[in-house]
Structures are given as C-alpha cells and as structure tokens.
Amino acid sequence: MARNNTNRVEVPQAKEALNRMKYEVASSLGINLNPGYNGNLSTYEAGKIGGNMVKQMIHAAEQSLINQTVSSLRTAFQQGLAEAQQEFVQTPPVSPQPPSQ
C-alpha cells in the first residue's frame, strides 16, 4: 500500500530556519550531516535529531505562551489600576461628621 508523505513544512517561510535548526541539533549531538542527501544516517540518529528538534520547538512554544500570559496579566493589572485611580480622583472627599453628643 502506498503512503502519502506528510513531512511538509506547514509555514514555507520557516523552511530555512528548520533546516538550520536540524544542522545545529545534529552538531550538538555529535552527528555529522552533509548538505543534501543523508541516507547514511541510522534510524536512531535521524530520530534523535528529529526528537530533539521537536523538544526545542515545544520548549519555545511553552515560553511563548508564558510570555503571552504574563503580558496579558500585566495589561489587565495596569488597566485595573488606571480605573481604580480614575475612580479615586472622581470620588468627592467625605467631610468629617461632628461627633454626636
């Protein structure tokens, strides 16, 4: 049975960055990659490169989510603070009541 190759880059602009990442990961693992065809790689080596690439991409996505969350919390806090300050300025001062006798 023929299988469709689904190994395609979903965002074409990322193709070069992924290619650079592949070479960087391979180098950090001590695996020699040649430009172009690398049919001499074992399945283990290819899997190790791909697995480490995925691990790095997941880490980057998690960091991005954390940064987005912190940014939205900071924005919400600043908006709440500004609204509280505005309410404080608009509230007329309360004059003290003389003590009742």
pLDDT at 2 over 60: no
Q: Does residue 22 contact residue 33 with C-beta atoms inside 8 Å?
A: yes
pLDDT tens digit string along 47-64? Answer: 999 999 999 999 999 999
Q: Does residue 48 contact residue 22 with C-beta atoms inside 8 Å?
A: no
How is the chain split into domains, by residue range? 13-80
Q: Is the pTM for the entire model greater than 0.85?
A: no
CA distances from 24 to 37, 49, 52, 78 (A): 17, 9, 10, 41
Distance between CA atoms of 101 and 81, rounded to whole angstroms?
41
Q: Does residue 31 contact residue 45 with C-beta atoms inside 8 Å?
A: yes
Q: What is the pLDDT of residue 1?
A: 52
Distance between CA atoms of 77 and 101, rounded to whole angstroms?
45
Q: Regarding predicted confidence, which is higher, 21 or 9? A: 21
